[in-house]
Structure 1
Amino acid sequence: MMMKSIAAGLAGTALFATVAFAQSPTATTDKAPAAATATTTTTTASGQWRTSKMDGLKIYNDANENIGTISDLLMDKSGDIKIAVIGVGGFLGMGEHLVAVPYEKLKFVNEAVASTTTTKPATTTTTTGAATGTEKTTTMAPAATTTSSTSKWYPDHAVFNATKDELKNMPEFKYSE
């Protein structure tokens, strides 16, 4: 009985397979190939900044003192950024004071903050080989690092004309519901 069921199943499968293979696709001449009609459009945004990279951006004052970081950017219904929420003080987010400042009062800078510390001059070390009587002189200069600010998609920092104490004394910003 089992053999008859298996034989019937195989015969039915073979019958359906031949019907499926007998159908051949019809060629249509009224449509062009999809690859020929598809066009690729790319958009470039050179010189634009990503808002996702603005969160945490350091804020300095005119004296190059770090006074806070951008915590949030608020925009109106048309998409224009109107307010920058700045976090002042605190440590690792604890005790941070949030203040709202007009976005147009921030000045964004692509170049790194000028350091107020002095760099060490180049040092020279002379080693005398006791066994061979030779001298080896090594000169080490301070390392210089540069980064391209045009490829970062965000500015290096922002400048706001206030001190850290002036920001802390501003009314605290609260998100209302």
Structure 2
Amino acid sequence: MRKFLLAAVAVSAIAGASAVAQTAATTDKMNSSTTQNGAAMRANPNDTIPPKAVTQEVPKNGPSFVTVQNTDMLSSNVVGLDIYNQQNNSIGKIQDIAFDASKQITGYILSVGGFLGMGTHYVAVDPNAVMVQYDAANKTWRATMNATKDQLKSAPEFKYSGQWTASRS
């Protein structure tokens, strides 16, 4: 038991020392990196780009509070739902929700096909084409749509780019 404990302590000390060495080397590399004019350069070149200006004005008044009704949906209930067709076949998944400038839902972004994120095809559909409802008996949310997986796969592809990828992690 004593040998095991000593071995565990030695391994953790070596692992900790290498992590500190990597951090110090990275920090030294960042501090010694310079641009052509001698100014310090950041590790991520995008950090030097100022953020894009906000297009809407910040409300001048304080918050207005609302009462969320028992029949209202939350985005957390909708995003991630599998979508079924009328034959009860899974045809896709609600990946995201699109809003316009007036904060109205303009579409659901569906993921279709693919396996473990490879070969996934995204499409944007009208929110009126998808029925999302709460099943009180089973205490689950369900999404249905009158479409086939092939129809969704052949639909125009939605691509995440530009401002749509800004806050994605």
How does the TM-score come out when normalised to structure 1? Answer: 0.50
Q: 5 Å matches for 1:55-134?
A: 55-111=79-135
Partner of 1:148: 139
Correspondent of 1:172 among 116, 136, 157: 157
Aligned-pair distance for 1:52?
2.3
Specify which structure has the bigger relative contact order, considering alpha-carbon pairs within 8 angstroms and separated by 6 or more residues.
Answer: 1
- State the TM-score, normalizing by the size of structure 2: 0.52
Give the greater-gyration-radius structure (CA). Answer: 1
Question: Which structure shows the bigger proportion of residues in helix conformation?
Answer: 2
CA contact (8 A) 1:106 1:158 kept: yes
Where in structure 1 are there 5+ consecutive unaligned residues? 1-40, 113-145, 150-155
Q: Is the 8 A contact 1:57 1:158 kept in 2?
A: yes
Once residues 163 and 176 of structure 1 are traced to their aligned partners in structure 2, the CA distance between those partners, rounded to angstroms, is 27
Q: Render the CA deviation track for 1:102-143: whole Å, top value 9, x for unaligned.
A: 11111113239xxxxxxxxxxxxxxxxxxxxxxxxxxxxxxx
Give the RMSD, CA atoms, in angstroms.
2.2
**Are the equivalent residues in 2 in contact too, given 1:61–1:162 (CA < 8 A)?**
yes
Whole-angstrom distance in 1 between the partners of 2:68 and 2:133: 22
Distance 1:43 1:95, change over 3 A: same
Percent identity between matched residues is 43
User: Which string of whole-angstrom CA distances, capped at 9 and with x for unpartnered residues, describes residues 59-111 of structure 1?
Assistant: 01111110000011001111110111100011222211101111111111323
Q: Report SS of the residue matched to 2:135.
A: coil
